[in-house]
Structure formats: C-alpha cells, structure tokens
Structure 1
Amino acid sequence: MEILKPNDLKKKFDKSWVAAYDKVLTLVDKDNVEIIEYHPCMSGSEWLVNQYRNSSELITDAFRDGNKHVYKATVGKKPLNLKASYNAAGIEEVAIHNNEVKVTHSGLAGAGVGAGMCRGLGKGVNYIELHDVGGGSKIGKATVVTPKLQKVVIGIDDTDTKDEGATWTTAHNIGLELKNEGFEYIDHIIVQLYPNNPYKTQNCVSIGLTFAVPEDKKDKLIERIIELLKRDTLSDKTSIAILEGLNIPDELRKYSIKAKTGMVSVDEAEDLAKKLNIDLIEVTGSQGKIGALAALGLYDNPKEAVKIYSRNNDK
C-alpha cells in the first residue's frame, strides 16, 4: 500500500489516461454516509452510478445530477464480486477514523483507474491509500480519505415584496457569497407551495440551500446566513429553518406535502419544528416559517418539490 497526496499522485501518474475528479465530499450522520463526487465527465458518470448501485452492498441509494453523483451508504465492509461489464466497480468498505472518512473503491480496468488515481486528484481529498494500480485489464483498488463533514440544509422563505425581489435568487446569491467565504455550497432547490395562498407574493415558493461543513463551522454558517438575510431581505416576514444530518423525518415530509396542497399556520410549523428538534428562526418576521420548514422536507427530491397538487382547484 502506498499513501499519496493529490500532488504526489499527479506527479506519479502524469498519464493521458488519468482524468481528475473535480471534487469529493463525504458527509456523515452516525453510521450513515453520503458521498458526493463531481465526475470528470457529464453524463458519462451515469455508467459509474449504475455499476456502483449494482455491485456494492454498502450502497443504499445512488443517483446522478449532471456530473455530480451521490452515493448513500453505511459504514462497514462488504467484499465485491467484480465481473467485467456487469459488476465492474464499487465500494467495498466505509470507515470513520476521528475526523476522516475512508472509502475503499475497487474496479476493473478503467473503473479501477477511477478508483484511486482519478478520485485522488479531486479537491477535498486529503490523500489516498493506493492498494492496486488499475488500467488495462487489471483491478484497481484505493482508499480515498476525505474530511468528515456534516450536512446542513437551510430553508428560506419570504424575502421579497409585491413590488420587488425574488427569494430564489436572493438565497442563491447568499449561497455563492458563503461559498466564496469557504463554505461548501452543494445545492439549491425550489419548493412549490400552495398556489392559492392569499399571503403569497406571486409564485409561492420557498428555497432550500444545502451545505457541507465541518462540525465546528456549523454555527458560523448559520450566523452568516442570518446576517446576510438581514442585509438583503426586502420583507418583514423572513424566516429560516435548519435541518442537520442525512435523514428527513417522515413527519417533515408529510408537512411539506401539506404545505403544497393547502394552508398551514405559523403555530403548526412551530409545533412540528419543536417536536422534531429543528431550529426555526425569525430573521425579520414569523410568516416565513411556514415555507422555510416546508423546504426542508423535500430538499432531496427536486421533482416532487416542484409539483403543483391543487391545479384542479385553481380559480
């Protein structure tokens, strides 16, 4: 086994057949992990997601969004039964050591090259433990070591007025500003709420921003979002909701669907947030709590988030 940092890896394998991943992030919640990788190719990563899903017992779910692919997995060790074309690559071990996560990838031929050399060049990687060099017809195997991160999702609602503003762009611009400050801004989702809400500005949506942060930077992230919203919001009804970890409680999902299909009160939002231990914070006012909390329940399902359920009842 050879331990190689990204710069060492680049010098050792300066080959035309090695393509660097853009970034690798690993989010942890107890014994569950979410591995987010930005592949060198766009839709080419669909092949890899399919292979990993088929080959790895540790993976509970996998999907692709552009060149970003996500593996949801559990801590443990499960040997792979690699077979060319059918089960060509996968994850055989996930381990957490202090503030690092170690994910062992194995693959045949080109998938083996991706296992260590390509991933190891990505941003966010501390180093790799190279077990076997892939390529040609050989098996490649490497343990990719990344910092242990925590997922924090921020629901945001009510930043505009009837005269000006847009919540989705205000939230995104804040996400970009935080990215420039060093926070890992992963995703932005628009959640369609009840279209017949009399309090709406117009389209009636709320926003969920997803971040990956070291645990000791979580509070600073939240403080900055509140500061930036106070600076940028045009409304006196702005609120945020904060969901930590990888799990979305069933009650929260049901609440989000309810907020898409009919009216919900601020009291109902506050009661559920308290029950689920979700922080619900007034930035300039309380009305935004309803949509901010609703954004959290569907942040991982963009297609469901944008659906309109009450079209037949529109007047």
Structure 2
Amino acid sequence: MKDNSYARKKWVVPYKNIIAVCDGDGWVEIVEQSNCFGGACWSEYHYKRTSPLIVSTKIFSNSIRYMTRVGTSELDLVPSLAAAGIESVVVDDETVAITYAGLGGGGVGATMSRSLAEDVIDYDISEAGGSRKSRGTIIVPRRKRVLIGVDDTDTKEEGATWSLMHNIATDVDNKNARYISHSIVQLYPVPQKTQNCTSTVVEFACIDETKLVRDFGRLLAKHTLSEETGMVVLQNFDAEMLKDYGMLCKQKQVSRETTLRNARNAGADILMDGRGIIGAMASLPYFGNPSQSVIL
C-alpha cells in the first residue's frame, strides 16, 4: 500500500514563513520567506502575471514581497504562462486571509507548501498535484510595520553599527515581532564620523510593537560603545515622508534642528537622542532596499 504521508513529504517544500503587513487603508504587503528560492522565483513570475490584486513585487534575499490590494479577483489560470496566483486578500481585526490557486506544482505551492509556514494560524486547502486546479487559504496574523533606525554605536577602536543592529534584531525576533529586513545606509562623510559614515535601519512586522521597542532599546543601551548613540522608531506602512531628508543626508551635513523637525513631521519617536539621531533618521526611508541604501 502506498504511503501517501511519506510521498507528500517528498513533494512538498514548506515555506519558512508568510507575513502580512497592513496599512489599515486597503493595502497589504505579503512577505513570503522561502526554503526553496527557485520555487519562490517561479511563483513571483507567475503571480505578477496572473493576479490583478498584485501591484508590485520585490525579490529580497530569500523572500518575495508582494504589494497587494485588499479584495478578491477570479484568476484565469493558463499552464506555463499564468499557472498560479493570489485570488484574494481579506483583512480582519487581528488576521489576514490569503487565498492562492495554481495548476500542477503551482497548486502544491498554493496549498500544502504555504499552509506549513511557521506563523500560519489556520488553513483550508484542496487536493493538489497532477493537472488539477488547486486552491488554498491560509490565515496569518495581521501585522504592522515598525522601523528602527540607529547610528553612532561604535568608536574608532571597536564596534560596527550594522552588525550590532543585525544581532539585536535577530535576538528579539519572535512570533510577535518578525525581523524582515536590514539596510546599511551610506551617509555624507561628516567630520564626526568614526570611519565609513553609515547608519542602519531594521524592519519588523509586529503584532504588538510595545515589547519590541522596549526590548530593542534595552539591548542597544547595554551594548552600544558610544555616548552619542541615536535610536529612532517609525511605526508606519512606509517612510515616503522622509525620502527627501534621507537623500539630503547623503549630500551634505545636516543639522540637529532639521532632523528634529523631520522627526516631528513624520511622527517618529526618538528613543536615544545622541548625535546619531541625524543618521538614524536618514536610514528610515531606505528600509527593505539595501542595494540602493549603500550608494552615496
């Protein structure tokens, strides 16, 4: 007798995680963290061709990020050309329901592979594989985006802000606050720099941001080597309002007064107010874009 459970283990590659970040105004960014990057790239190609709900996609490390509208759209699946996609994105007070559909291997990915992702709360899937059309809905926590920018944690003798930020972010990553990106931001080389004049922004997808901010701040205060450390926090779906300020800090030295004005306008919270707040603020608009943030 055929052991179907064993067979399924062999032809299902679970996703590491699937994260839904909401803005509360009809937009959801779905971050799919894959254990098989080749499979993720196949999905990205077909999904953006097939799904009217998808506005844009971005490949980021082992992840594919889908910017989507909330809603439902029937998919016209075509083998080889448009074989899988996202049918619906439904947002509730605490959860997001994402429905996928696909043909063949795309159907396996749409159902079992995604239902096994780490933070999936519940799922409803059809049979998958072969030539059939398959459909699956997963329920994941509704999350909000939290950006933490930091600068000036090192000295000329020791330390590196980018590595400290990554290690702290890794330490505080949990089901409540998922660490999803890290960008090193090259700034204008001011006289006060320690060496390369960079700041760092880390991005989290949070259910409750209070504990994240408290724990991150505590670890940063414990491990920073500088008395001029700046830490800023922005709880917002994007950081477009700081784009001009971030570019300005790549072009010339910027004053503390200009920084504080931009912080107020953006609604950013200053948690550590040393000289590093200038670079910390400048890092925020470069979240999730590390290949561009390193350019002066």
Tell me which interval the TM-score lies in, with the shorter structure as reference length: over 0.9
Q: One-letter code of the match for 1:202?
A: Q
How many residue pairs match? The answer is 292
For the 8 Å contact 2:119–2:175, the answer to whether it is kept is no
- In structure 1, what residue type is equivalent to 2:202? L
Residues 46 and 14 of structure 1: CA distance in aligned 2, closer, same or farther (over 3 Å): closer
Change (3 A) 1:159 1:34: same
Match of 1:7 in 2: none
SS in 2 for 1:103: strand
Aligned-partner SS, 2:292: helix
- 1:181: Cα distance to partner? 9.1
Any idea what SS the aligned residue of 1:259 has? helix
Conserved 8 A contact 1:28-1:245: no
Q: Counterpart in 2 of 1:306?
A: 294
2:75 to 80, 91, 95: 80
Taking structure 1 as the reference length, what is the TM-score of the superposition?
0.88
For residue 143 of structure 1, the aligned residue among 137, 160, 166 is 137
Equivalent in 167, 177, 193 of residue 200 of structure 1: 193
Residues 1:120 and 2:109 are matched in the alignment: no
Q: Could you say which residue in structure 1 is the equivalent of 2:217? A: 226
CA distance in 2, matches of 1:259, 1:100: 38
Match of 1:3 in 2: none
Q: Which runs of 5+ in 2 are unaligned?
A: none
1:209 to 174, 198, 202: 202
How much does 1:246 deviate? 2.1
Counterpart Cα distance in 1 of 2:205 and 2:5 = 29
Correspondence for 1:95: 90
Mapping 1:1-315, distance limit 5 Å: 14-30=8-24, 31-130=26-125, 132-179=126-173, 183-195=177-189, 197-214=190-207, 217-249=208-240, 251-282=241-272, 285-308=273-296
Q: d(CA) in 1 for partners of 2:56 and 2:200? A: 24
Give me the whole-angstrom Cα distance separating, in 2, the residues matched to 1:114 and 1:193.
41
* 8 A Cα contact 2:177 2:209, kept in partner: no
CA contact under 8 A between 2:181 and 2:288: conserved in structure 1? no
User: One-letter code of the match for 1:84?
Assistant: P
Residue 143 and residue 174 in structure 1: after superposition, are their counterparts in 2 closer, same or farther (change >3 A)? same
Query: Structure 1 residues 76, 208: closer, same or farther in 2, change over 3 A?
Result: same
Give the TM-score of the pair, scaled to structure 2.
0.93
Kindly report the root-mean-square deviation, in angstroms, between the aligned alpha carbons of the 2 structures.
Answer: 1.8
Percent identical = 37
**Paired residues of 1:20 and 1:119 also in contact (CA < 8 A):** yes
State the Cα deviation string for residues 141-167 of structure 1 (Å, max 9, x = none). 111111111111100111011222111
CA–CA separation in structure 2 for the residues paired with 1:306 and 1:50: 27
